[in-house]
Chains A and B, each alone.
Chain A
Amino acid sequence: MAKCDEIELSREEIEAEAEKLASEVLHTSAREAWARVRHGEFEGTLFASKLARLFFLLGSYEPIPVAAE
């Protein structure tokens, strides 16, 4: 079996990871980055899918937030 890593992240840790990613790559907030990703920017990049995955996990606590129009 491949080495399976099981990670449990708290809501704060998921949010912190999203903020760190958005800050490092775009120098912006996670919500702003997520809004841009949802509008089709950065399509296909690892950044876009990583952010989508973090917001998916946040959906464990609440419906995935809709980007501001």
Chain B
Amino acid sequence: MPIRGRTPRECFDKFKEHIGPMIAQILGAQLHVSFTTAAGGDNCHCDMQLGTPHQDYVQLESRTLGKVYLSLAQDLLAKPCEGAYQPTTLQYWYKVFDVQLGQLDEPLFRWERSPVESGKQHCKHHFQVGKVHGDERRRAIEVHLGAGMLDLNRVHLPTGYVLIEDVLRFLISELGVKPATDKWESVLRESEGRFFREFNSRTSTPTP
């Protein structure tokens, strides 16, 4: 049964109760998760980010790579549904940076869900590869494809809906980020299960 709330606020509180403990268990209880709403608006819009209101990324320690930087944000909409409200994620941005970032730096990896505007044909849910360090400045990775070259920085590789849990699993298992608990696999599995049960069962198949 998808989560519903009598008010938009109740929806967002339930989402917060889902995300807050999971982030604390996986990355550490010292981290902040910020939820911003518009005072006096329709109360149906909520912006969530990992980090404090003034620092929208966090630094993580990797066993193998030193420091990596992570930015996670979601825009949530509480939609009226049968006399109540149901939370839905309208947009998300999950970004992994290899250096401490400035506002105009591109991440090395990013997963996004963005509304596709007319004239842009890429998939709503996609993954993109950033630019790598070159001799003096960053350069895109180009690969041969058929008779031409493909700039991997420009292609939007289709994905399904990507969960925050998926990104955290990638960080731990592939990039060597140190989890705050040895039980990280079961915490992520449990959290994913809860997401599919309570928030959205239509996105993709949960981990068995």
Interface of B is mostly: mixed
Complex: A52 Cα to B91 Cα, angstroms: 9
Does A1 touch B at the CB level, under 8 Å?
yes
Q: Check: B125 CB closer than 8 A to any chain A CB.
A: no
Q: Does B52 make an interface contact (CB < 8 A)? A: yes
- Contact check, B32 vs A3: say whether CB atoms are below 8 A apart: yes
Across chains A and B, the number of contacting residue pairs, with CB separation under 8 Å, is 122
**Are A56 and B73 also in contact (CB < 8 A) when A4-B35, A25-B103, A44-B106 are?**
no
Q: Is the CB of A56 within 8 A of B128?
A: no
Flag whether A28 is at the interface (Cβ < 8 A).
Answer: no
- With an 8 A cutoff between CB atoms, is A7 at the interface? yes
Q: In whole angstroms, how far apart are the Cα atoms of A60 and B95 in the complex? A: 25
Partner of B53, one of A5, A14, A45, A61: A5
Chain B residues in the interface with A (C-beta under 8 A): 16, 19-21, 23-24, 27, 29-45, 47, 49, 52-53, 56-57, 71, 73, 75, 90-91, 93, 95, 101-107, 110, 114, 117, 120, 128, 130
